[in-house]
Structure 1
Amino acid sequence: MASLSPKLAVLIDADNAQPAVVEGLLAEIAKYGTATVKRIYGDWTGPQLKGWKEALLKYAIQPIQQFRYTTGKNATDSALIIDAMDLLYGAKLGGFCIVSSDSDFTRLAARVREAGLVVYGFGEKKTPTPFVSACDKFIYTEILVDKEDEDETVAPRSSAQLKQDTRLVALLRNAVEASSDDSGWANLGPVGSNIAKQAPEFDPRNYGYRKLGELVVASGLFEIEKRKLGDGTTTATYLRSRRRAARKPAEG
């Protein structure tokens, strides 16, 4: 029997998110589970959130009113956090999607994970590192916006550009090494899982590629091998560092 899709609570900080991301956001969330709770927090009496109203009706997102009682104090954050804790203990959820670029939700993300639930974070690239690292996975919302102008999309980085990104190179090589067998070959699936544990914000779309497999091929860092599985109708992708392959004759 197929497992049921995890139930997710989507909590949006309207002060730190843009309505243009909603369609792509919900499509992305659908990859991980079912958005059974969809709430957005802000002061809806003012004009600053006017752009959200059409999106709320179209996607059945419940607005939660939070007045600004004191200048300089963010009451929206407090309301979202209180609701999240109520849902954590009162609803049967598989995880939370926190949509904000605000580091104030760092402790919330950590607390939800301590309870054994998955946390998906969504925010702009300016999001502080502590909040990003507190999530199981963090997706930058810039890649979720459907841009009509093709020139505005993320152009695929070349092999030379990818190799110049020392953090990316180390991330890929470490993940392959950690997932490899004695001969140095690693299945792409476990490699992706290892990367997610190391860097919640990693996403091949940030480099202009739809899939991890496309990114590793473009990097030129690995040997690529397709292997047939089971009855031969399906295949799996295996990787091995070119550096390890080059050392092999000398070790023999």
Structure 2
Amino acid sequence: MASETTQKLAVLIDADNARPAIVEGLLAEIAKYGTAHVKRIYGDWTGAQLGGWKAALLRHSIQPIQQFAYTSGKNATDSAMIIDAMDLLFTERFDGFCIVSSDSDFTRLASRIRESGRIVYGFGESKTPEPFRTACDKFVYTEVLTRPTEGDTTEAPKRRSAKELRGDTQLMNLLRNAIEAASDDTGWAHLGATGSIINKQSPEFDPRNYGYSKLSGLINGIGVFDTEERQIGNGKHIYVRLSARKK
């Protein structure tokens, strides 16, 4: 498997369940994980409901895939995406897939791709059902990718206070358990290793969901952890532990 920065990725977007306001942030986020060798978006382009996407397609070289709604109440777009994803998977040209949708119908697809040894990055709104989120290796809420546009009322998550963060039992347990798992005999844990454990346990975890750009900022914002920067070789590394005052 290629390293994360050189991964060849296939990006498949469900236009019926994604908004054009996310496109720039989405592609910038995907660039952190690898290079998008395929960028396709699926929907019925004969209607007016996808008009907002059309300008973004040319600007970002995203290929629109036409899918007519053959029967009322049935989502033909999902089927087209799933078939294309499997075709691309069988070519064995890609290291990972980016599935952009808030629809739980892609849960089995994500699981099947992972069974083949490929990485799955999911992108969807915070309302995305849990089965799809947890079927991905990494899931990013599109609210943190949105850039404000005229008429768009979606807001990025606001920064939570230390009191609010400490009151989030699920978050605190996740952080404590990950730090404990990554810690050495002194109780200190490398922040990178801690983040890796968190992502494996909770694919949808993202400091931006709490209003912080980085994990280190979130941990400092909570106020119950100690952090320490260490010079190791030519680089600086951050270590974290539960504060002695809070044990």
Partner Cα distance (1:107, 1:246) in 2: 42
Per the alignment, in what secondary structure is the counterpart of residue 60 of structure 1? coil
Change (3 A) 1:246 1:156: closer
Shift of 1:154: 3.0
In the TM superposition, 1:224-239 aligns within 5 A as 224-230=227-233, 233-239=234-240
Alpha-carbon RMSD:
1.8
Matched residues in 2 for 1:222 and 1:246: separation? Answer: 8
**Partner residue of 2:35?**
34
| Secondary structure in structure 1 of the residue aligned to 2:72 | coil
Which is further off, 139-148 or 208-217?
Answer: 139-148
CA distance in 2 between counterparts of 1:128 and 1:148 reads: 26
Q: Which residue of 2 aligns with 1:117?
A: 118
Instruction: Give the whole-Å Cα distance in 1 for the aligned partners of 2:70 and 2:246.
Output: 65
Q: Deviations over 1:181-233 (max 9, x none)?
A: 11211000100000000110000011111100111111112111111102xx4
Q: Mark the CA change 1:180 to 1:26 in structure 2 (over 3 Å): closer, same or farther.
A: same
Corresponding position of 1:94: 95
Normalising by structure 2, report the TM-score.
Answer: 0.94
| Structure with the largest fraction of helix | 1
* Matching of residue 67 in structure 1 with residue 68 in structure 2: yes
> Deviation at 1:155?
2.8
Pairwise CA distance, 1:242: 2.1
| Structure 2 letter corresponding to 1:178 | A
- Of the two, which has the highest radius of gyration? 1
How do 1:1-252 and structure 2 match up within 5 A?
A: 5-147=6-148, 152-230=155-233, 233-242=234-243
Instruction: Kindly state the Cα deviation for residue 246 of structure 1 after the two structures are TM-superposed.
Output: 5.9
Amino acid at match of 1:107: R
**Could you say what secondary structure the match of 1:200 adopts?**
coil
Q: Distance in 1 between matches of 2:155 and 2:221?
A: 21
CA contact (8 A) 2:138 2:203 kept: yes
Secondary structure (helix, strand or coil) at the match of 2:82 reads helix
Distance in 2, Cα, partners of 1:40 & 1:209: 30
1:57/1:208 CA distance change after superposition, 3 Å = same
Shift of 1:7: 0.6
